[in-house]
Amino acid sequence: MTRRLLIRATGTARPGQLAELGRALARSGARLLDINQSVTFGVMSLEALVGLDQDIDLERALAATGDSLGLEFQAIQVSAEDYQRWSVQASQPRLILTLLAPHLPAGILAEVGALTGEYGLTVELIHRLSGREPLDGGVPCDHRIQGSCVECWLRGEEVDLDALREKALALGAMHGVDIAIQEDSIWRRHRRLVCFDMDSTLIQAEVIDELARCHGVGDEVAAITERAMRGELDFQQSFRERMRMLKGLDEAVLAEIAERLPLMDGVERLMKHLKRLGYRTAILSGGFTYFARHLQERLGFDEIHANELVIVNGKVTGEVHEPIIDADRKVELLREIAAREGLAMEQTIAVGDGANDLKMLAAAGLGIAFRAKPLVRRQARQSISTLGLDAVLYLIGYRQVDLEEPEA
C-alpha cells in the first residue's frame, strides 16, 4: 500500500542541495507528487510530497544527507483525507492581493491576515516585488520604482470580490496603504495594450484649467472641472460649457503651456519599461490633441485620441471637432484598438482618474484608478494613490529585479 509523506527540509541555502536530496529520494524508491521550495534571506525551505511503496524509514534515510548539506529533515505521514483536502484547495480560485505604499507599516500584516481570514482565504505565499531598501536609509537609485510593494497569493472558495475590495479600500485608507485585489489568471502577465487618460494621470494638471487661467476665467472653469471629475456633471455638457469660456484664447498660449506641463511622477519609468517589454500604449483623453501629441513625442506613445480644438486666425473658437471624447467614446476606442491589434479585452489595461474614465476602467482586463476622486476609487476594481504611475508595473506582476537592465 502506498504511503504519502510530506518531507520538510530547512537550512542555509547552498548550491547542490536539491541534487543531493533528489538522489536520496531516488535511492528510496520514492515518487515525487508535489514540491515547493523558496529561499528567503539565505534560508532555504523545501517541502516535497512523495509516494512510497516500500517500508522504509525515509526520515532516517535522509538524515545522513541532511548532515552533509546543513539541512534538517522532517517526514510527516499524510492521510488520504489530508491529501484529498489539499487537492481540493489547490483547485480553488487564487486571488492576488498587492500592498503598495511609500513604506509598509508592520501592522498592516495583522489587518490583512484578519481580513483574509474573515473571508476564509488562506495566505499561500507572500513575496516582495519592490527592491530592497538601502541599509543606510539613503534614497534608492533613480531607475527603481519608488516605494514598497508586497504581493500575497490567496487561496479559497469563491468570495464576494466587491465586498472584499470595499473593506480592503477602507482598511488601506486607515493605514496609508493601497490594497489591490485581483483574480489570478493566464492574462495577468499576457496583457499587451495600456490606455491612459491624460490630464491628472499622465500629467499633474488639468490642461483646460491651465488654458482658462491664461484667459482670465480660471476659477470658473476649475469649479466646473472639479464637479465633472467627481461625476456630478455630465461630461459633454460641462466640456462644452468650459470650451465656450475659452473663446478668443490666443493659439500661442498652447505652446507655452505644453512646454511647462509637469509630468506625473513615475510616468517616464513606466513608459520606458512598457516599450521595452513590448506593450502597445495609447492616450484616450477628454483633453486636447495638441497636448497629447506633445506627450507622444516626449514619451513615445504609439497612438493618441483626444479632442481637436477648432482654431481660426490664431484664436481658439470655443469649439472642438466632433466626436467629443467622452466616457462612451473612450470605451469604443479601447475596444477598437484591441480588436485591431488582435487582442482579447482581458489583455487590456486602462488607467485614469476621473468619473469619465469609469466605463473604460470597467471594460479593460485591468482597470486602475490612479490618484482618483473617492467616487472613482470606490467604483474601480483597482486603485493606486500612494505611489507614482510606475507602480502599475507591480499590479501587472513585475518585480523590480525583472525591470533592472544589465549594466553594459
Positions annotated as catalytic residues are 197, 199
Which residues are within 8 A (CB) of 336 and not within 5 positions of it... i.e. 6 or more apart? Answer: none
Beginning with the edge strand found earlier in the chain, give each strand of the sheet holding 303-307 in spatial order.
303-307, 280-288, 193-196, 348-352, 366-370, 382-384
Q: How many helical (H) and strand (E) elements, i.e. helices and strands, does the chain have?
A: 16, 16
Nearest-angstrom CA–CA distance, 149 and 127: 9
Nearest-angstrom CA–CA distance, 187 and 205: 33
| Residue tagged 489568471 (cell numbers) | 185
Helix (H, G, I), strand (E, B) or coil at 33: strand
Buried b (16+ CB within 10 A) or exposed e, 275-290: eeeebbbbbbbbbbbb
Nearest-angstrom CA–CA distance, 124 and 368: 25
Q: Return phi, psi of residue 298, to 5°.
A: -80, -40
Supply the Cα-derived Rg of the chain in whole angstroms: 27
Sign of the C-alpha dihedral computed for residues 295, 301, 307 and 310 taken in this order = positive
Helix (H, G, I), strand (E, B) or coil at 42: coil
Nearest-angstrom CA–CA distance, 393 and 381: 16
Helix (H, G, I), strand (E, B) or coil at 195: strand
Nearest-angstrom CA–CA distance, 342 and 344: 7
Q: Return phi, psi of residue 211, to 5°.
A: -60, -40
Q: Cα–chain-centroid distance for residue 350?
A: 11
Q: List, in sequence order, every beta strand (DSSP E) within 256-347.
A: 280-288, 303-307, 309-312, 315-320
